[in-house]
Structure 1
Amino acid sequence: MGRSLQDWKFMTGISPQALGIIIPETCSAIIQVLQKDYIRFPSNPQEWQTVASQFLHQWDFPNCGGAINGKHVRNVPPPNSGSYYFNYKGFSSIVMLAVVTANYEFIYLDVGKNGRNSDGGVIVQMGFYQPFQNGTLGLPPPEENVAVLNFVFVADEAFALGEHLMRTPEQRVFNYRQWLRMPLA
């Protein structure tokens, strides 16, 4: 669990009001300096093809730009916040939503939306969602992809299906290599 600004006041000798300014500014500075080195979001078809080749090599999944999922991170809600952070799982949280490569490397991360939002509700608030929906994300066109298929992202049932968003199969592992080798009767 996180600590309150009051707790930090006693540990640092800095007032909660000043900490309320210092902490967000420091986090923003860290993100601005380190994000480009550690969380690199693809910006053109060639970079997306690099991500897709990882999925093809690692998971035999063609034309995949990333796996999207969310996690509700427990928190202690601010005083007088009511049900603003209370989620459908029955506890107070903030939502972390991420897009990862086949090697589990973050290429996009959004943290801090209130817990009452579902994963599917948070995705529409993410910075990459609008370009994702209107086709300006820089994804390769179908004719440049394996088997002339759309470039897609995979997610679970919390997310609505779309032209570039598909779900993973429910509760089963489907090995298409074995399926292709099955004799037809």
Structure 2
Amino acid sequence: MVAVSRRRALVLVLLLAALRRRSRRRSRWWVHPLNQRRAQQGDFYRLVAELGLDPQRHLQYFRMTAEQMDELLSLIGPELTRQSTNYRAAIEPKQRLAVGLRYLASGGSLVSLASSYRLGHSTVANSVHMVCAAIEKIMMDRILPIPTEDMWKEVAKGFWKKWNFPNCLGAIGGKHVTIQAPPLSRSQSFNYKKTFSRVLLALVDADCRFLVIQVGDFGRTSGGGVFAGSHLGRGMEDGTLHVPPCTSLPGAAHLGDVPYAMVGDTAFPLKTYLMRPYPRQNLNHQKRVFNYRLSRARMVVENAFGILASRWRIFHKNINLHPQHVDTLVVAACILHNFLVNPTDNQRMLNEAEQLGLQMAPVGNMGGNRPSTAAWNIRESFSTFFSSAEGSVSWQDRMV
């Protein structure tokens, strides 16, 4: 009996020793050896700390100032906070934010970020997802509120003052956001550029700020098709978006009341609430003037996309994330665009985009479009106004 008891005790001791060795192996590899010197060699503790002393380089690296980054952290920091465990300390909210912003700003890979920040690949991916989701959750209603009647009127004032287009609710456009081919991807994501993409539809005010965005349509969908199925398109069609009632154009009451309308290119349909150019064939002078004035106002949305892509270089890469995460990333980037955009800096960002050839692919045309007589008549009213004494501008004849 004594021998049996000793053998049982010996087996128990050996079992406990094996469990201790296994536990040590697990804890030793819970943080990879290359990442155990994160505080000494990781970019967050070395480079990012130094960038705080150089405002210009901080702006180039994160595409925002240190003060703007701190303000952003104060808003979304609680959403990035996680509890430490017995095995490892939680990543600080500011480091998660730094990783997320650098991913947007550089367009680099998750693997390269993991190496430079001395973090695990899954930690970097989770940080990017957390930052984008937190921005959408916390800042969406504040930065991209649902437009009210007063907001629409302010937008229209801005377009008349800056771009000489009255009764304008904004400039609308769409761009492709290229992605890696998702698993079991279907042909709907394959666009005319022979790449896989998601579509970003946006309505923009006179200062290049996003008013309404929609993300997530398949890449092969046309601009008009995306618009028709969007909340914006359905709301405009149903009259449920608090658009102000028709009013006369400035100084031209004799032309009658004219609806407020958006401006878009030929990818969009002609509607009573959406003006597009005249077809290019056999245009008289008045119609060429209208096309010029509409194009001048519509370029605001192209400028907004240019600034977005100039700031966030991720839009010039094939984003290797799940499509659902891509949609969240695009929404977050648009929110940050509004958070950061400054009319005094817009031209600098546009010049940078032009120098580097940073352009997003436009969505394709809708195809056939049979506008109503009312839509034709409203476009004629705008056209007549732009060639009248009340609505013309001194340089328009030289431009057409």
TM-score band by shorter chain is 0.7 to 0.9
Larger strand proportion of the pair: 1
> What is the aligned partner in structure 2 of residue 42 from structure 1?
147
> What is the aligned partner in structure 2 of residue 162 from structure 1?
271
**2:189 pairs with one of 71, 85, 92:** 85
Structure 1, 70-79 or 138-147: larger mean CA deviation = 138-147
Secondary structure of 1:97 counterpart: strand
> What is the aligned partner in structure 2 of residue 177 from structure 1?
393
Q: CA deviation at 1:126?
A: 1.6
Q: CA deviation at 1:112?
A: 1.9
Unaligned runs of 5+ in 1: none
The residue correspondences of 1:5-154 to structure 2 (distance < 5 A) are 11-12=121-122, 23=129, 27-44=132-149, 46-143=150-247, 146=250, 147=253, 148-154=257-263
Letter in 2 for 1:11: H
**Separation (CA, whole Å) in 1 of partners of 2:292 and 2:232:** 29
Deviation per residue, 1:22-45 (Å, 9 max, x gap): 94x86454313101222234222x
Secondary structure of 1:178 counterpart: coil
Contact 1:2 1:76 in 2 (8 A): no
Return the index of the structure with the highest Cα Rg: 2
RMSD: 3.3
Contact 1:64 1:153 in 2 (8 A): yes
**Separation (CA, whole Å) in 1 of partners of 2:396 and 2:199:** 40
**Separation (CA, whole Å) in 2 of partners of 1:54 and 1:114:** 33
Q: CA deviation at 1:81?
A: 0.7
Contact 1:145 1:151 in 2 (8 A): no
**Separation (CA, whole Å) in 2 of partners of 1:126 and 1:96:** 11
Q: CA deviation at 1:118?
A: 1.1
Contact 2:188 2:221 in 1 (8 A): no
Cα separation, partners in 2 of 1:71 and 1:33, compared to 1, 3 Å: same
Contact 1:85 1:114 in 2 (8 A): yes
Paired-residue identity, % = 35
Q: CA deviation at 1:77?
A: 1.7
Cα separation, partners in 2 of 1:113 and 1:36, compared to 1, 3 Å: same
Letter in 2 for 1:31: E
Cα separation, partners in 2 of 1:128 and 1:173, compared to 1, 3 Å: closer
Secondary structure of 1:159 counterpart: coil
Secondary structure of 1:109 counterpart: strand
**Separation (CA, whole Å) in 1 of partners of 2:396 and 2:190:** 47
**Separation (CA, whole Å) in 2 of partners of 1:178 and 1:96:** 36
Structure 1, 67-76 or 139-148: larger mean CA deviation = 139-148
Structure 1, 56-65 or 133-142: larger mean CA deviation = 133-142
**Separation (CA, whole Å) in 1 of partners of 2:137 and 2:249:** 33
**Separation (CA, whole Å) in 2 of partners of 1:78 and 1:3:** 17
Cα separation, partners in 2 of 1:96 and 1:177, compared to 1, 3 Å: same
**Separation (CA, whole Å) in 1 of partners of 2:393 and 2:133:** 46
Contact 1:2 1:75 in 2 (8 A): no
Structure 1, 159-168 or 121-130: larger mean CA deviation = 121-130
Letter in 2 for 1:177: V
TM, length-normalised to structure 2: 0.38
Unaligned runs of 5+ in 2: 1-106, 115-119, 281-287, 294-385, 387-391
Contact 1:67 1:101 in 2 (8 A): yes
Contact 1:52 1:64 in 2 (8 A): yes
Deviation per residue, 1:83-103 (Å, 9 max, x gap): 121012322111011000011
Letter in 2 for 1:114: F
Cα separation, partners in 2 of 1:81 and 1:150, compared to 1, 3 Å: same
